[in-house]
Amino acid sequence: MNVLVLLAIILLILMILIGGKKGARSFFALFLNFGVLLFTIIFMTNPNNDPYIVTLIACTVISYINLFFINEVNSTTKTAFISTIITIVIVLFFIVIVTENAMIQGFGEEEIEELSIFSLYIGVDFVKIGASVIIMSTIGAIIDTAMAIASPMREMYHHHPSISKKELFTFGLSIGRDILGTSTNTLFFAFFGGYLALLIWFKDLSYSVGEIVNSKIFSAEMITIFSAGTGVALIIPITALITAYFLVKKRGNKAKVI
């Protein structure tokens, strides 16, 4: 049996045993997300399509899959979805400005040898592609943080229905402070783990610290990490505010009906 198939079966069994139906949906969501990314790449490399628009659509679909398909439609997923989309739009504007000024688009000199046989005149804007890649790299962390804040806020409201909007918002911020450090460190190690071979290559080439820091590849990865961290930091107050507003508003609507 193919190793990939065996690992997929093991993962599916564990996710079903631990997560039940939600675990099974989470497993199949992996393939749905892969399909979205595949179509995103196809549409993004078409010169007639705007990579920013394609990215926003892809992020919306991915958010829908990871929130509504896995966790179903409820007050938690609704507020997490709205918060995610708002944060993605804000972070996208920030990333566009940083990408254009840092000039990290395209390829670094370490990649030229492998790409020398290909034509780079493919008719797409590498600045937009670079910004789109960064925003797609942050979407997962932003969705996770939104759910990690909205879910306990709903539980708090359920057990203390008389809680005020300010107290609920403060509760959401306190949760965000607890997970902010771990989330940013997770992003840091995830990106650096994927580029560990590059760091070893820098060492073999006897790069100085200054050369490493000024390398386009290294700078692009660091900007990706910082942008993802910015998204995680922004999603905390946005989710806390929107969730507190909707929960308290729902309580007010119920009181009017009664």
Summarize pLDDT for 57-90 with one digit per residue, the tens: 988 999 898 888 888 888 888 888 999 999 988 8
Average pLDDT of the chain, as a whole number: 80
Q: Give residue limits of the domains in the chain.
A: 74-257
Contacts 24+ apart (CB under 8 A), 89-98: 89/56, 90/234, 91/135, 91/138, 91/142, 91/227, 91/230, 91/231, 91/234, 92/52, 92/55, 92/56, 92/131, 92/135, 94/227, 94/230, 95/131, 95/134, 95/135, 95/227, 96/52, 96/131, 98/223, 98/227
CB neighbour class for 74 (10 Å; exposed up to 12, middle 13-18, buried from 19): middle
Summarize pLDDT for 132-180 with one digit per residue, the tens: 888 888 888 888 888 889 888 888 888 888 888 888 888 888 888 888 8
40-49 as b/e: b if 16+ CB within 10 A: beebbeeeee
Nearest to 144 by CA among 173, 176, 113: 176
Confidence tier at 238 by pLDDT (50, 70, 90): very high
102-127 as b/e: b if 16+ CB within 10 A: eebbeeeebeeeeeeeeeeeeeeeeb
**Using N-to-C axis directions, what is the helix angle for 126-159 and 165-194, rounded to 10°?**
140
Confidence tier at 257 by pLDDT (50, 70, 90): very low
Please tell me what DSSP assigns to residue 68: I
* Per-range mean pLDDT, top range of 20-29, 42-51, 82-91: 82-91
Please check the confidence at residue 40 and state whether its pLDDT lies above 50. Answer: yes
Distance, CA of 203 to CA of 206 (rounded, Å) = 5
Say how many C-beta atoms besides its own lie within 10 A of residue 221's C-beta.
Answer: 21
- pLDDT, average across residues 28-48: 85
